[in-house]
Amino acid sequence: MKVIVTGGAGFLGSRVIRQLLAALDRGDAPVAYDTIVSLDLAPCPVGDPRVTSHVGDIGDPEVLAEVVGTDTVGVYHLAAVLSGGSEVDFDLAMRVNVDGTRALLEACRAGGTVPRFVFTSSLAVFGGPMPDAVPETLASMPESTYGAFKAIGELLVNEYSRKGFVDGRVLRLPTISVRPGKPNSAASSFASGIIREPLNGEASVCPVPLDTRMWLSSPDAAVTNLVHAFFVDGAELGTWRTINVPGVSVTVAAMLDALKEVGGADAHALVSYDEDPRIMDIVCSWPGDFDVERPLALGFVRDASFTDAVRQYRDEFAPQA
């Protein structure tokens, strides 16, 4: 029996795969699976005989027919065109983020099983007037192409789950910070860049006001929550399968204070400020705090502080003196 991970070659996808393998090694996975298939446009970097790397497009029905079958017990749908790229290329975002999601759900439906289906959504589904802390019942009102298409994906997963075609779980992930690697096309990429680059000894530019409030998660907490979402019994989630995943609420100014605390004044001095209206229009429409009492009661977790997330990056990824 297998679990499919779209975007399995990416940073989060490959970490999810490693955690799923670790659960097998411990013998405590509550779902019966013995193999994992990464479906992505690039080979999966996880070298394990239990992992198969399938290079292909999630929008291709032939590819999905090859990958999804009667032995599919779970699907992680992580692949997407990110926020900045979606705003630039509407048609590509529609093909991947909407058409690809529906095609994957249809492949699961045709497979004849009811796999657990974990869909990663985003804070970008929100916009307009918002309370200081967003409750679970706040309606989505996206102000970007990415947010609109993620909201469509949420509704699709919930409807396919209601109909019994999949056992859906929709996770509105916080912005992940601090990500290793290079900047990507996400409008929120700066949330890692203003920490990562200075800790690597490189200059970085902050494109939003210092009082911008961000809802953030370290990579470790995000992956823990992704795996927990797959393992938790669907009955515990109720009929509406959308979860505002716990994070920490901090201003950009506080993020830079954490950089100074962990990396020192020299690292802090590498950050300059140049507001970018394109990024501000997207990121500043997102909420910066959530009521997550129910997700925490369901076993989802969050970082103790953003400073801990900065230390996590420094200790695992930053060049060591």
Task: Tell me which residues are annotated as active site.
Answer: 146
| Strand 271-273 with 242-244, pairing | unpaired
Other C-beta atoms closer than 10 Å to the C-beta of 25 total 9
CB 198 within 8 A of CB 259: yes
DSSP code, position 35? E
- Could you tell me which residues come within 8 angstroms of residue 127 by beta carbon, excluding any fewer than 6 positions away? 141, 142, 143, 144, 147, 285, 286
* CA neighbor of 99 nearest in space, from 70, 77, 127: 77
* CA neighbor of 123 nearest in space, from 243, 298, 220: 243
Q: How far apart are CA 63 and CA 76, in angstroms?
A: 16
- Could you tell me which residues come within 8 angstroms of residue 270 by beta carbon, excluding any fewer than 6 positions away? 197, 198, 201, 202, 203, 204
Q: How far apart are CA 319 and CA 140, in angstroms?
A: 40
